[in-house]
Amino acid sequence: MLSQDTIEWPDEIEVLIDQLESDAAERKFSREERAVMDIYETVPILQSEDCLHEFWQSGIDQQRIINSFELIGATSLVDPMNASRWCGSRNEDRNDYTESETEYLSTIEEELVTGLDELVDLVLEFMEDEME
């Protein structure tokens, strides 16, 4: 993955996440709450060294995560995620990719970095519009 600053979540998002984590055992999340949790929990994977490869190799519900990013309007992240679906059918080791696969995935991950730059603003706007 290209180098990028780690996302620093603002206090409004951190407070909501803490609240949701404490409520998790007592109630089921709304679709909007689930989307924010999905995004918050997935960003570290997308910012990891193996980025989209790790996302597709992980045991998470990738389609639900993609739907969560789409729900908040993060199409600049949804497109690279969808374009990298083929990583899910590959070997667990990213080093086994062919040279052209590696180049293609790097191109997709460049798009992802651009989308991650907008993510905090999109989550804040979504929270303001849909969760209050």
Mean pLDDT in order along the chain per 10 residues (132 residues): 74 95 91 96 94 93 97 95 94 88 94 92 94 73
> What pLDDT sits at residue 132?
67
What are the domain boundaries of the chain? 28-130
pLDDT at residue 1, rounded to an integer: 47
pTM score of the predicted model: 0.90
Neighbouring C-beta atoms of residue 125, cutoff 10 Å = 12
Separation of alpha carbons 107 and 17, rounded Å: 32
The token pair that represents 23 in the structure block: 């409520």
- Looking at residue 64, what is its pLDDT? 97
